[in-house]
Structures are given as structure tokens and as C-alpha cells.
Amino acid sequence: MSSVVPDAEALYLDLLAGVKPLMRPETKLVGITSGGAWLVERLQKDLGLPGAPGIISSAMHRDDFSRRGLSASVQTALPFDVNGADVLLLDDVLYTGRTIRAVLNELFDFGRPASVRLAVLVDRGGRELPVAADFAATTLTLPDTQLLALARANDGAFSLKVEENK
């Protein structure tokens, strides 16, 4: 593993600073399971926003559903009316864009938002679909043989790990 893995806690602080100008009074934060959900829970608190953030799963709309099956991860919970909402999606790693496509399909199952924007911790390139983040804390290039994943310790601290793709 020759890639230098960035400090996820430092990137989180950059994400927090980058999300602030994207926020409008009516903005609803929605994290993509699982890494984005961890980020959005912490952002909701650090931004002093009331209530719970939204959590969204891509599981039901993935184009590789037949191969991956239904994940045991948290399912979608959107504690607000999606119709007319300004939604800021959060994810840990933006790669091919396929997860974002699936999440948009899931989101539209709940209604028609006024706008949807995307903020990510890491943009690693490698897009297969025309998806771009409105904010990325960093960009990082990794070989296709490697996966980048956010981990969360028991104390809530974030770290990034690189794994060989199986």
C-alpha cells in the first residue's frame, strides 16, 4: 500500500468549514449509509441544527443489487418532508457516482426536493457517471484495486483505511 492516507479528523474539520457556506435556513442534511451517516450525525451536532438528520440507503436502487443483495445496514429515515426541500447529501468517499445515482432514486421515492447538493470527505475520481460534489474536503487518487473507507472508533473519532478490492 503506497498511498498516503489522509487524516480523517483533519478532513472532517475541512468538511465542516466547507459545508457552512452551503447551508441555507431550510437546508436538510442527509447522510448516505454508513460513512455519510456518521458524518451527518456529527455535522448536525457541530452545526447546532435541531432534530435528527436524514439517513439514506442506496441498497434498494443499486444497479448491482442482484450481486450485492440487501445490506444489513441502516435503512432510509428522512425526518422531514422531501417535497420542496433543499437537501445536502453527505458521503465519505465519492468514486464512480453509482451510489449517488442510487441515493437520488431513493430520495425521489420520498418526494421531489427543490434542490439536492453533495458534499464529501474524499473525492477519489474514477467517475463512471456524471456526478460531481459541490464540496470535497480533499481529492485523492487510488488504483482501481484499492477501496477507501471511513471508519469510526468507539469514541467517535474518524479514520480512513485503504483496503485491497476483492
User: How many domains does the chain contain in total?
Assistant: 1
Given this model, what pLDDT does residue 1 score?
A: 39
- 47: in domain: yes
- C-beta separation of 132 from 148 below 8 A: no
pLDDT in tens, the chain (166 residues): 345 789 999 999 999 999 999 999 999 999 999 899 999 999 999 999 999 999 999 888 866 645 545 555 568 999 999 999 999 999 999 999 999 999 999 999 999 999 999 999 999 999 999 999 999 999 999 999 999 999 999 999 999 999 998 7
Residue 14 within any structural domain of the chain: yes
Q: Which domain holds residue 87?
A: 8-61+74-164
Distances (CA, A) of 80 to 24, 115, 120: 15, 14, 22
Question: What's 107's domain CATH number?
Answer: 3.40.50.2020
pTM over 0.85: yes
Q: Is residue 93 part of a domain?
A: yes
**Residue 82 counted as domain residue:** yes
Pick from 103, 102, 93: nearest CA to 142: 93
In a domain, 18, yes or no: yes
Buried b (16+ CB within 10 A) or exposed e, 118-128: bbbbbbbeeee
* Cα R_g (the chain), whole angstroms: 15
